[in-house]
Structure 1
Amino acid sequence: MLEKNKQNSDEKDDNSKADGEDDKNLKNLIQCSSSLSNIKTSLSQKKRNEGEANVLKYEVDEDKKKNINTEYKEERIDNIKDIERKIGKQIGGELEKVRKAGKATNSYKEKAVKTYENIAKENEDNKENKNTVKENENTVKKSED
């Protein structure tokens, strides 16, 4: 009876650990989704800024030919370059988050596979034990007859 109670409490602990792992895995998947969404937004902003910078560069070239002051446009190009560097860092940070979450998810998958393999092995062992018990019962019944 005590052994059964201990097994039940061990199973509850294992289940709560598995639930905790499931929660972590879900958080990792949500983090990946959020990070990928942030990356997508950052890339579209970066593309828009690159377009604006290209237009400004063309306008600066044309303005210089006409001897027009290009100082404002050149400052804006420099600002856009700074923004692009920041976006690049943001994208790098988000990719790092995805990489870490992916590693955690992979380790979770490996643990899950091992757990399922152990459960399958235990089930096979239990089946063998049940078959052995049945064979012994049949042998006893035959000897009694």
Structure 2
Amino acid sequence: MSPGQIAALVAAGAFVLLVLLLAIPLIKLGRTLDEATVAIRKAHQNSDPLFDEANTTLTHVNTQLERVDGITANAKAVTGNVSALTSLFTATLGSPLVKVAALSYGVSKAVKARRKAAQEPNKHARRRPRKGGKR
């Protein structure tokens, strides 16, 4: 055997050793990819019922939102009616009612003042005699 043939045998042995060392991680990677494929398949199978339930839930939520929208519209109409009623009350009865309240307040103050004046002795009724003058 010539030195070239020996070198070729050593190189071939190193190449076989390199292929064997690289084959082990490649086999493990293939197993990992197989497990990932199985996991993805299971997740896909389990996601269908989840999406169906999510669609059902969204349908119910939309139904409830439509009801809330109707309630909100009714509340808006009631608010408008109350506002119109308040404006009508203010225009028709508000001003006269304020005038009547002011008049009754003034009358009650005047009556109280007269009663108080009637209960107290009249201070101005007695006059002092003038100095040096006739009475």
TM range (shorter): 0.3 to 0.5
TM-score with structure 2 setting the length: 0.39
Bigger radius of gyration: 2
